[in-house]
Amino acid sequence: MKGWQWILAISVLCALTSRAAPAATSAPTSPNPPKTVPVHLIVPVPEATPKALSFYRQSNVIWCIRTFGGLLVPLVFLFTGVSARMASTARGLGRLWYFSLVIYLAGFLAINFLISLPLDYYWGFHKVHQFGLSNQTFLKWFTDYLKNLLVSFCVAAAFLWCPYWLLKKFPRRWWIFTAAAAIPFMFFMALLKPVFVDPLFNTFGPMHNQALGQRILGLAEQAGIHGSRVYEVNKSVDTKTVNAYVTGFLGTKRIVLWDTLLTKLNDDEVLFVMGHEMGHFVLNHVVRGILFSSVLVLVALYGLQQTARELIRRFKLSWGFDELHDMASLPLIIFLVQLFSFVLTPIGLAYSRHIEHEADRFGLELTRNNYAAGTGFVKLSVENLSNPRPGPFFVIWRSSHPPIADRITFMNSYRPWERGEPLKYGDRIYGKSH
């Protein structure tokens, strides 16, 4: 597990960050709905190639190793007494409590960096090149790896003091206050990440295909998104895979398209992808997802509160501390957050798959181009070496999106406008004034 995930787990379950969807049903009202594609072609679900199946199986093995390591490494810090000795050294060097915490954090991240580097290199650089999914040079990979470490340290140094201060001041209710503090923290990070973090790794700019850009802006107007921001990012320096995503909050909200996606999908397929991402905007998934995540954070921190003190009572002599607010407890907090995160992951991912399905529905109702949507998912499956029909283990514990086979099947069948049925998001698409 990377340092970013290790530290932020205290206040937000990064793996569970997802976005919610409303359930209103309504009918279209505009006299000028988008043109329906006249052909009724069925897009077959592609079969996974032997190469894709090998990538799928190996990625599951790596996920299991990372999950097991995420639980084992903090225990090693605790039972070897390394954490207690690091905390003692940090207090001597830092003198003031905050600076001691920062020094401890720097040492913790440095050791975790050395532990995780071999596996991260093996899977994140060597294997993705072996599978033909990466364009990244080793220098670019390692530079980005160090940047990620630096960002992790800066974010943790800025915010880690808060839960520890709450632990000391409110030992019985700290978990409630920490979960409450996680909400503005997540909104703040969502606001800053597109502007200050993402540009550290890649170059973002306007779309090079201006004609397609104008079609996208027209689609955004139909969806009631005025003055929308669409960015193209040069991910081809890193990867051969394709993707697009929504990011940001308030003034930094934007839709980002990888240049690889724009190269490998045709214009109609890109427009459906944009319709899907616009669905996240219109349905307010970012805000709803943060609020949903805060509930999971509250549950995880409650479990931590109920468990940690009993563990400290039993193992305080081995661990070298007897209070949870001691900075030496950080590996214990991380271990318990990882444990409860594992338990809660199926809930978070099920919620994420639901809102991704609703974004697919919105994209179809906006573009009404089922064929382009289906062929787009076929290309996504091929280019990303996806398994269209993953097993239940993968879906429950790893998949934030519905399986490709399910999405293509939905693309083939969802045509309520042809049957005179109301559209679920019709008022959000056509009822807007232009």
Tell me: the pLDDT tens digits for 292-306? 999 999 999 999 999
| Among 277, 358, 365, 383, the one annotated catalytic | 277
H-type helices in 30-173, by residue range?
Answer: 50-79, 82-94, 97-121, 128-130, 138-159, 161-169
Average pLDDT over residues 198-203: 94
- Say how many residues make up the chain: 434
Q: Are 412 and 43 in contact (CB under 8 A)?
A: yes
Between CA 353 and CA 370, with CA 232 as vertex, the angle to 5 degrees is 45
Q: Give residue 40's pLDDT.
A: 63
Query: pLDDT tens across 228-244, in order?
Result: 688 999 999 999 999 98
402 alpha-carbon distance from chain centroid = 15
Percent of the chain scoring above 90 in pLDDT: 72
- Is 80 exceeded by the pLDDT of residue 120? yes
Q: Give residue 41's pLDDT.
A: 82
Place of tokens 């913790």: 108
- Is 50 exceeded by the pLDDT of residue 343? yes
Q: Could you give the dihedral angle defined by the CA atoms of residues 143, 148, 150 and 152, in that order, rounded to the nearest 10 degrees? A: -170
Catalytic-residue membership of 47: no
Query: pLDDT tens across 347-369, in order?
Result: 999 999 999 999 999 999 999 99
Q: Give residue 129's pLDDT.
A: 96
Closest CA to 5 of 90, 87, 170, 116: 116
What does DSSP say about strands 204-205 and 230-233: parallel, antiparallel, or unpaired?
A: antiparallel
The pTM for the full model equals 0.84
Helix (H), strand (E) at residue 190: helix 174-192
User: What is the distance between the alpha carbons of residues 17 and 337, in angstroms, rounded to a whole number?
Assistant: 14
Average pLDDT over residues 360-384: 94
Q: Which of 202-206, 226-230, 417-421 has the lowest mean pLDDT?
A: 226-230
Q: Give residue 430's pLDDT.
A: 63
- Is 60 exceeded by the pLDDT of residue 23? no
Q: Which of 15-29, 63-77, 222-236 has the lowest mean pLDDT?
A: 15-29
- Is 70 exceeded by the pLDDT of residue 221? yes
Q: Give residue 177's pLDDT.
A: 94
DSSP string, 143-188: HHHHHHHHHHHHHHHHHTHHHHHHHHH-TTTHHHHHHHHHHHHHHH
- Average pLDDT of the chain to the nearest whole number: 87
